[in-house]
Amino acid sequence: MPSSPQYDSLQKQIEDRSALVGVIGLGYVGLPLIRAFIDAGFRTIGFDVDQSKVDRLLAGESYIGHIPSQWISGCIEEEQFTPTSDMNRLSEPDAVLICVPTPLSDSRDPDLSFVESTARSIAQTLRPGQLVVLESTTYPGTTCDVLLPILEESSLAAGEDFFLAYSPEREDPGNPDFTAGGIPKVVGGVDPRSLALATSLYETAVARVVPVTSCEVAEACKILENTYRAVNIAMVNELKKLFDHIGIDVWEVIDAAKTKPFGFQAFYPGPGLGGHCIPIDPFYLSWVARKHGMPTRFIELAGEVNTSMPEYVIGRVTAALNEAGKPIHGSKICILGVAYKRDVDDPRESPSFVLLDLLRQRGAVLSYNDPHVPQLPRMRHHQVPDMASSELTAKFLQSLDCVVIATDHSAYDYDTIVRHAPLIVDTRNATQKVKEGREKIWKA
Ligand SMILES: NC(=O)c1ccc[n+]([C@@H]2O[C@H](COP(=O)([O-])OP(=O)(O)OC[C@H]3O[C@@H](n4cnc5c(N)ncnc54)[C@H](O)[C@@H]3O)[C@@H](O)[C@H]2O)c1
């Protein structure tokens, strides 16, 4: 690979840690990434269009559970981290990592408007020697077909003047075993120099870098990982319904199956899919497939099964209350957990909001508890009541007709919950170890 002055200079800045690392989008992905690069010895600058987030960071306040406020204030004081909403400063960083949202539109097509507007902001200040890396999850082709043309409107050439790569984020929120720096990172570049620079940069901050031959391979890799999860979760969700019907406990079956030392990976059923990735990303791929006239039946079927799960849970709640001689209408029902998974504060796409909608439509008297979500947030696709998390006192639990465990936060004391609540519908097998009062537990 022929070297060039821009390439050589950035390689040197990466090696001696004098490169300034910029991250656009200071959310669940962007903020931990800033942390990984600060830990690797770089100074960083973080960009976000949400002024309230920038203000909170400048005040030394974290809004992400596993990033401590004290760490943020320390980094700002030491000038290792500068948060800003001023996109004119995008010419300052030597590497610019894009971590903006990639949601679905109302018609469930990819919504790349955040990526496109970010690319336009970068193009306005792009200067020779900058490395741009897209980290947002997206369909194969986005970096070369969407990002590259916008950046080249600057009249600079990729691979010569500036460098462009794709490297998907693999955050696992709430999992203490994996921080951003401990997870291997796949990297694809639009040309060999871009690949080499992005590889060098990430090698400073993460345990292992896996270079691949193109941005498209790296983009497809991320979608494969998430589609794999969506399909396997759908499979165990479907088996849960079947096994329940014939009197077999699906969780016991999975625990037994996972003793097989090869060829089996355990996935667990739940009340439906949640989070910003698994319910959304596979549909980026089916959109590409549709453009090519090809079906993605696994993705569609998994989506169908997973979105049917809240209705299944409501069926179990109905049956459980019915056995106690009560209708849903007028029953006091408390949802435990509105975050989409254990021990996180992220409510995006959480099936708990579908459960709340369905129960409200049936006339239940609703409450919720979530130690990580003190107040119900507004959600685009749900009518969310203005409600604060109820404290799980013995008196409160006794006053209910039913508790629905939607998210198995480890802060919950399941023995106490089962002791005091009259009826428990458990969608996560969270009460597995509870010994007393099991007759009150309905798995769902
Ligand atoms: N959350 C996860 O666990 C996770 C894991 C892997 C991949 N991803 C992917 O990473 C990307 C980001 O996800 P997230 O969870 O961090 O989202 P997020 O909503 O938490 O954060 C995105 C941030 O980008 C900001 N933003 C939006 N448009 C902007 C713009 N034009 N310029 C600057 N900032 C802008 C938003 O204000 C927000 O703070 C998505 O593509 C997502 O699919 C997320």
pLDDT tens readout for residues 248-299: 999 999 999 999 999 999 999 999 998 888 889 999 999 999 999 999 999 9
Backbone φ, ψ for residue 113 (5° rounding): -60, -35
Please tell me whether residue 375 adopts helix, strand or coil conformation. strand
Is residue 289 within 8 Å of 139, Cβ to Cβ? no
The phi, psi pair for 10, rounded to 5°, reads -70, -40
Tell which wins on pLDDT, 207 or 218: 218
CA-to-CA distance for 177 and 290, rounded, in angstroms? 38
348 lines ligand 1 (CB under 6 A): no
The pLDDT value recorded for residue 383 is 87
> What is the percentage of the chain residues whose pLDDT exceeds 90?
90
> Which ligand 1 atom sits nearest the alpha carbon of residue 118?
31
Count Cα atoms within 13 angstroms, Cβ side, for 381.
Answer: 16
Query: Distance from the CA of 416 to the center of ligand 1, in angstroms?
Result: 38
Ligand 1 pocket check for 284: Cβ under 6 Å: no
0.85 exceeded by the pTM?
A: yes
pLDDT of residue 50: 97
CA angle 59, 65, 67 (to 5 degrees): 60
Catalytic, out of 144, 277, 334, 402: 277
Strand partners, 424: 403, 441
Both tokens of residue 231? 């399909």
Cα–Cα distance measured from residue 376 to residue 353, given in angstroms and rounded to the nearest whole number: 9
- How many angstroms separate the most distant Cα atoms in the chain? 79
Protein residue with its CA nearest to atom 15 in ligand 1: 28
Sign of CA dihedral 311, 316, 317, 323: positive
CA of 69 to the centre of ligand 1 (A): 20
In this predicted model, what pLDDT tens digit does every residue of 84-132 receive, in sequence order? 999 999 999 999 999 999 999 988 899 999 999 999 999 999 999 999 9
211 lines ligand 1 (CB under 6 A): no
What is the rounded average pLDDT of the residues 382-394?
A: 94
Catalytic: 277? yes
Ligand 1 and 136: CB distance under 6 A: yes
CB of residue 424 inside a 6 A radius of ligand 1: no
- List the 209-211 sheet strands across, edge first: 81-84, 43-47, 20-24, 95-98, 131-134, 163-166, 185-189, 209-211
